[in-house]
C-alpha cells in the first residue's frame, strides 16, 4: 500500500480534501508537540506546510483540470435547467477574477486546521467556489447602498426573493488555479485584549484563488424582458468591480464580467 506522501496529487481522480487531511495528520501532531521556543523545529514545521501548499498549487495547473472543469460546467448546466423548469428566467454570466480571490476564510471544511485560513471548497468536484450566499450577500449590500428602490427584489421577511443565485464554479484558468498567499499579522488578541509588549510578526501562509480564473455566475429571476437582463448585468458588473469575498478593501476579489 502506498503512503499518502508517495501519491502524486491529481484532482481528476483523487479526493483532494481527503488527501489534505491525511497529509496533515503528522504535521498537526508535531505542531501540538513542538514548543514555541523551539525555533529550529518550528522552521522545519513551517517548511512542511510550505511543501503542502506547493503540492496543492502545482496540482491545480490548468492543463490538469480539464476533466474537473467539465464536471463543474455539467453540474451548472443541470442546475440552470432546473431553475428554468421552475419558471425562472436564467442568466448565465461569464466572469473572471482580476485579482486574487479569498472566500470562506472561516470555513472549517478545507484548509483551516493546517493553514489557519479556510477556503470555500466542493469536496466532490475538488474545486474552490464562490457560495451563492456570498454572491447574494454582496449583491444585497450593493443594492441597499446604490439602488434602494430594487431592494425588495431580494426578498423580505414576508416575501420570497425574486432573484436566485447559484454557487459560482471556476471553469477555466489561465495560470495555476490555486496559489500560496501570505499574511503577516503583528498583533494577536488574547482574552479580548491586544498587548503591545507581545507584538511579533507571525507569517500565515494559506491558499487563495488566482487571478485570471473564469467563473460561471448563474442568476435566476422571476421577471421578464431584455431590460431586466441589461440592468442585472450592469448591477452585477458594478458589484463585482468592488470585490467579492474577504479582504476586498485590500484589492482582493475584484471580478469582471466577460
Cell of 161: 426573493
User: 103 falls in which pLDDT band (50, 70, 90)?
Assistant: very high
Residue 255 has pLDDT above 90, yes or no: yes
- Alpha helices per DSSP H over 60-180: 66-85, 112-115, 132-146
pLDDT number for residue 236: 93
User: 195 falls in which pLDDT band (50, 70, 90)?
Assistant: low
The pLDDT tens digits for 25-61 are 887 887 778 776 677 877 877 888 888 999 999 999 9
45 Cβ contact partners less than 8 Å away, ≥ 6 residues apart: 27, 30, 31, 34
Q: SS3 of 208, please?
A: strand
User: 134 falls in which pLDDT band (50, 70, 90)?
Assistant: very high
pLDDT number for residue 193: 59
The pLDDT tens digits for 53-95 are 999 999 999 999 999 999 999 999 999 999 999 989 999 999 9
Residue 256 has pLDDT above 90, yes or no: yes
Q: CA 227, CA 225: separation in Å to the nearest integer?
A: 5
Domain boundaries, the chain: 7-248
pLDDT number for residue 197: 53
Residue 186 has pLDDT above 90, yes or no: no
Question: Per mean pLDDT, which range of 98-107, 183-192, 199-208 is the poorest?
Answer: 183-192
pLDDT number for residue 2: 42
pLDDT number for residue 54: 92
pLDDT number for residue 191: 54
Amino acid at each position: 500500500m502506498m503512503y499518502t506522501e508517495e501519491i502524486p496529487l491529481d484532482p481528476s481522480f483523487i479526493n483532494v480534501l481527503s488527501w489534505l487531511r491525511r497529509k496533515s495528520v503528522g504535521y498537526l501532531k508535531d505542531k501540538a508537540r513542538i514548543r514555541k521556543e523551539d525555533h529550529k523545529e518550528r522552521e522545519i514545521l513551517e517548511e512542511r506546510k510550505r511543501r503542502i501548499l506547493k503540492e496543492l498549487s502545482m496540482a491545480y495547473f490548468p492543463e490538469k483540470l480539464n476533466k474537473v472543469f467539465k464536471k463543474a460546467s455539467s453540474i451548472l448546466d443541470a442546475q440552470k435547467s432546473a431553475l428554468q423548469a421552475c419558471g425562472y428566467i436564467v442568466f448565465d454570466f461569464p466572469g473572471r477574477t482580476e485579482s486574487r480571490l479569498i472566500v470562506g476564510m472561516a470555513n472549517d471544511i478545507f484548509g483551516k486546521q493546517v493553514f489557519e485560513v479556510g477556503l470555500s471548497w466542493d469536496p466532490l468536484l475538488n474545486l474552490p467556489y464562490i457560495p451563492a450566499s456570498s454572491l447574494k450577500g454582496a449583491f444585497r449590500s450593493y443594492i441597499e447602498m446604490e439602488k434602494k428602490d430594487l431592494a425588495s427584489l431580494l426578498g423580505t421577511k414576508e416575501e420570497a426573493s425574486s432573484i436566485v443565485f447559484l454557487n459560482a464554479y471556476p471553469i477555466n484558468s489561465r495560470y495555476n488555479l490555486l496559489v500560496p498567499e501570505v499574511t503577516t499579522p503583528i498583533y494577536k488578541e488574547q482574552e479580548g485584549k491586544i498587548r503591545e509588549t507581545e507584538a511579533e510578526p507571525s507569517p500565515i501562509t494559506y491558499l487563495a484563488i488566482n487571478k485570471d480564473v473564469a467563473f460561471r455566475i448563474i442568476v435566476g429571476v422571476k421577471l421578464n424582458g431584455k431590460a431586466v437582463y441589461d440592468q442585472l448585468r450592469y448591477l452585477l458588473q458594478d458589484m463585482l468591480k468592488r470585490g467579492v469575498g474577504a479582504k476586498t478593501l485590500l484589492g482582493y476579489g475584484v471580478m469582471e464580467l466577460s
